[in-house]
Amino acid sequence: MPFKFWPLVEGGFPRRDGPIGPLGILRGARHTFLTADLDRATNLMVAALGGTKVAENTDRSSGAKSILLDLAGVTVEYIQPAAGDARLGALDDPAYGLTGERQRDVYWSVSFLVEDLNKTRAHLELNGIALDINDEDLILTNPRDCLGMRWGFMTRPIPGSA
């Protein structure tokens, strides 16, 4: 019997209604990138890839500017850290791409929409996962505890949305 790549060979992953697992995940929410040039990143997403600008924000505490875009149904966020923002370090020494050139943008985190952020927070804390951001609307895990990745959890994928 040949090896099957279940569930891909058998018609895809089963669709589930309601939250999944102890984190209460409903669906993916957004992918976040850091950039030193918000205008270039926006132009790439809108002009080159056909995305739509959804919102612009400035973080009052850090001064970072960000833009949210819809790219074929996926929310993409670009953040341009301000002077003094700890995230600038990631842009000072970005990873190398497949071409051997330094990346211009840094993949920062992937976030998920959850049913109940307090339930998600409690589960992460119970399992010893450190939180780099622990706000009313967003949890962002410390990559040291999460396979080197920042996992975000939120109840609203776009600020101010229902």
**Domain-embedded: residue 13:** no
Tell me the pLDDT tens digit for each residue of 80-132: 999 988 888 888 877 776 777 777 888 899 999 999 999 999 999 999 999 99
Q: Which of 135, 125, 161 is nearest to 62 (CA)?
A: 135
Q: Which residues contact 8 (CB under 8 A, 6 or more apart)?
A: none
* Amino acid identity, position 125: E
**Domain-embedded: residue 61:** yes
CATH number for 144: 3.10.180.10
**Domain-embedded: residue 18:** no
**50-60 residues labelled b (16+ CB within 10 A) or e (exposed):** ebeebeeeeee
**Domain-embedded: residue 123:** yes
- How many structural domains compose the chain? 1
Q: Are 64 and 156 in contact (CB under 8 A)?
A: no
**Domain-embedded: residue 114:** yes
**Domain-embedded: residue 64:** yes
**Domain-embedded: residue 159:** no
Cis preceding linkage at 7, omega within 30: yes
**Domain-embedded: residue 19:** no
For residue 46, the Cα-to-chain-centroid distance in whole angstroms is: 19
- What's the number of CA atoms in the CB half-sphere (13 Å) around residue 60? 0
Q: What is the pTM of this model?
A: 0.79
Rounded-to-integer distance, Cα 125 and Cα 81, Å: 28
Tell me the pLDDT tens digit for each residue of 138-162: 999 999 998 888 999 998 766 545 4
Domain that holds residue 132: 25-154
